Structure 1
Amino acid sequence: MAVYTEVTPNNLDLLLKDFDLGTQVALEGIQGGIENTNYFVTLEQDKQQQRYVLTLFEELSEEELPFFVELAQWQAKRGIPLPYGITDRNGIAQKRLNDRPALLQPCFSGRIIDRAQLTPEHCAQVGTALAQFHKAGEDFYLKRQAHRGVFWWRSESSRIQSHLPEEDAKLLLAEVAAFDALREHADKLPSGVIHGDLFHDNVLFDGDQLSAILDIYNAATAFWLFDLAIVANDWCSLPDGSIDSERENALLSAYHAERPFVEFEYEAWPILTRTAAMRFWLSRLLPALGLEDNGDNDKKIKDPDELKQILLSRIRTPSVLPR
């Protein structure tokens, strides 16, 4: 979360005229994060104060946002703890403020836990939550192709190879080819809505209890197991890129208890853990090599080598799903 577009109390009052949520008490910018502008908004109604989050979207367009608005409301109605756009008195959630698409959302309690402090219990909870997210969205009526999915990584891996050491270029292209081979059996892999970016800094814990899933703006229609691989690579990795087997076993077992794996997923899992590492390695390589506009000079460029080491670890020591 961050502040790129200024919102004044007067701006907020204009927005609040459409809602029956009370009067403004406080407006506070939220620092940190990468993509959107976020504010804490405190409102008072019937002498009771309630906190909300106002989000202004800096990159998603007016036309792209409805998928995510509909998805968040769909999941929230099915008990998934995540921010969703609150509807105004006319039933409209998606608003416009200061020339940006905007949502007013519930504020969840909790904090982000540093990766070094994650325990098997934390990983088990996110495994359960991710399986519930997948099951709740199984019959969601909208579909979306991932912005950085298979077609993106095919074209970008070809474009970037001449800028990489030969060994890295071969590794990248080999992993793209491995996923292409797996896609020939796509009908054997359960798919539906995925979160797409459920790194540890997109989950809140209140004490040691998972309280909210954040930032669904990379959600798309894809293999559920790919989503689980993204989580495993981030939540269960050690500083050298190797995988903490105790954390990963807790994650996978909890997910499996909520949504049992089908047979072909056991064969696909080692490949998809590599695909997930490759995808985020590639997305970090592009700005690091100056081949992608970072959009904002203040945005931190993440280290690509972190994901490369995870990829190499996944190749050396393939993971196995529990039965």
Structure 2
Amino acid sequence: MGDYTKLTISEIAEIFELYVTDSIESFRALSLGISNSNYEIITANNKYLLKVSNDKNKEQVLDEMRILEELRKSDYPYSIIPIKTLSGELVYEKGSYYGVLFPFVDGIPPGPGDSTCFEIGMALAKLHITKANTEGLRPSEELSYPASIIAEYSKQSTCPDDFKELLDGLLQDRLQKYLTTNFDKGIIHGDLYYDNTLFHNDHIVAVLDFEQSGVGEFILDLGISISGSCLEKGRISLPLMESYLRGYESVRPLPLIEKEFLNDAVILGLFSIALWRIKRFKEGTLNPLMADSYKQLLYRAEIFKQTVETND
């Protein structure tokens, strides 16, 4: 899924020359991500991850790297630091290609489970408490879809009927209350599903793909992450959600207002990612075969609401 841009060995070598003088011994395409093509590159001395952007323009990729730079300065332990080109650039450009080179981090994406959820919750909370300077960093709504954009989209004629009807049915007057509440803000990841992490010996070692990151509300970031990490048989598991929150609150105790709106944030998190899929796959051309994949997230939101009400 990550090999949309087919690079030849000579094209990879030309990009690699922007960084180091090592010769490439081998490379292989990795099936990671949707918005990038990813390659593992092995030299005599090191191993690297080369990313070629398929979906974002160069400035958007550079904005992401600026966020990673701020996290490096703030000693966030789980982000991977991009390698600069020999001329000091964070993002390379070679012909029609642009992207980033990272050091390769060994680890595996975990499966969902109590310890996985605890670790991811802890990692997200550590992101939310960083003292990074957010001045000049992009707002999250430039690339992701917070509640205000979801609400506005639901009023447009292009909005699918099932999206609008389910949003109204699941949240009703809660959405307006959510929109008029002031929540804490800072750097958010925007897409922290468990498959955007690497684990080693059952502990998280890296948080990947800050492509949707920006300055936004912590509560929606939490809702998105729970909606894609606390899964059991394709549904959000309340016990896994409890494990996630134990990990999160071991670092950052939730303010009372965030506890009050947490379940709404999980639902909005699902609608946020659903809208991302609509924009990329249904209205856009990134992968037309996935045009209706947003429906899976709407169904998950509906089941989650039913599960919460049953357990109240």
Which bracket does the TM-score occupy, shorter chain normalised? 0.7 to 0.9
TM-score, scaled to structure 2: 0.85
Paired residues of 1:153 and 1:176 also in contact (CA < 8 A): no
Answer yes or no: is 1:249 the counterpart of 2:246.
Answer: no
Alpha-carbon shift at residue 273 of structure 1 (Å): 1.7
The CA distance in 2 between the partners of 1:302 and 1:42, in whole Å, is 38
Taking structure 1 as the reference length, the TM-score comes to 0.83
> Is the 8 Å Cα contact of residues 56 and 97 (structure 1) preserved in structure 2?
no
Task: Classify 1:120/1:178 alpha carbon distance in 2 versus 1 (closer, same or farther; 3 Å).
Answer: same
Structure 1 residues 162, 126: CA separation in 2 closer, same or farther (over 3 Å shift)? closer
Where 1:230 maps in the other structure, the secondary structure is: helix
> Measured at CA, do residues 62 and 220 of structure 1 come closer, stay the same or move farther in structure 2, by a change above 3 Å?
same
Given residue 181 of structure 2, which amino acid in structure 1 is its aligned partner? H
1:159–1:177: structure 2 CA closer, same or farther, 3 Å change rule?
farther
Residue in structure 1 matched with residue 58 of structure 2 by the alignment: 62
Aligned in 2, Cα 1:181/1:161: closer, same or farther, shift over 3 Å?
A: farther
Task: Answer yes or no: is 1:308 the counterpart of 2:304.
Answer: no
Mapping of residues 64-79 of structure 1, within 5 Å: 64-77=60-73, 78-79=75-76
Match of 1:52 in 2: 48
Distance 2:103 2:275 in 1: 34
How far does residue 294 in structure 1 lie from its aligned partner after superposition?
3.2
2:78 maps to what in 1? 81
Q: How many residues align?
A: 304
Moved over 6 A (4+): none
Q: Note the C-alpha offset of 1:148.
A: 3.5
Counterpart residue identity of residue 153, structure 1? I
Alpha-carbon distance in 1 for matches of 2:189, 2:291: 22
Deviation digits for residues 1-49 of structure 1, max 9, x if unmatched? 51222333333333333334622222222235321111111122xxxx2
Matches within 5 A, 1:4-19: 4-19=4-19
> Residue 95 of structure 1 aligns with which residue?
92
Alignment partners' CA distance in 1, 2:258 and 2:67: 25
Partner Cα distance (2:98, 2:173) in 1: 38
Structure 1: any 5+ residue segments left out of the alignment? none
Change (3 A) 1:57 1:283: closer
Which residue in the other structure is 2:202 paired with? 208
Are 1:132 and 1:258, in contact at CA under 8 Å, matched by a contact in 2?
A: yes
**Contact preservation (8 Å) 2:191, 2:210:** yes
The one of 205, 209, 217 equivalent to 2:211 is 217
Write the mapping of 1:135-284 to structure 2, written as runs, cut at 5 A. 135-136=129-130, 138-141=132-135, 142-146=137-141, 147-149=143-145, 150-159=147-156, 163-164=160-161, 169-173=164-168, 175=171, 178-186=174-182, 189-239=183-233, 241=235, 243-284=236-277
Displacement of 1:56: 0.9
Alpha carbons of 1:22 and 1:227: their partners in 2 closer, same or farther (altered >3 Å)? same
Secondary structure of the residue aligned to 1:159 is: coil
1:108 is aligned to 105
- Describe the shift of the 1:6–1:313 C-alpha distance in structure 2 as closer, same or farther (beyond 3 A): closer
- The one-letter code matched in structure 2 to 1:110 is G
| CA offsets 1:127-168 (integer angstroms, 9 cap, x no match) | 111111222264333132322324542343223687535xx6
Identical residues among aligned pairs (%): 19
Does the residue aligned with 2:212 lie in a helix, a strand or coil?
Answer: coil
- Name the SS for the 2:271 alignment partner: helix
Contact 2:70–2:132, Cα closer than 8 Å, also in 1: no
Q: 1:279: Cα distance to partner? A: 2.2
CA RMSD in angstroms comes to 2.7
Does the 8 Å CA contact 2:144/2:190 hold for their aligned counterparts? no
Any unmatched runs of 5+ in structure 2? none
Query: Within the alignment, does 1:122 sit opposite 2:122 as a pair?
Result: no
Distance 2:175 2:46 in 1: 47
Match of 2:127 among 133, 140, 143: 133
- Cα distance in 1 for partners of 2:198, 2:291 equals 24
Contact residue 137 and residue 193 of structure 1 kept, 8 A = no
The 3 A distance-change label for structure 1 pair 128 and 287 is: closer
Please state whether the residue corresponding to 1:64 is helix, strand or coil. helix
The AA in structure 1 aligned to 2:269 is A
Worse-matched range after superposition: 245-254 or 170-179 = 170-179
Distance between the aligned counterparts of 1:22 and 1:302, measured in 2? 44
- 1:194 Cα shift? 0.8
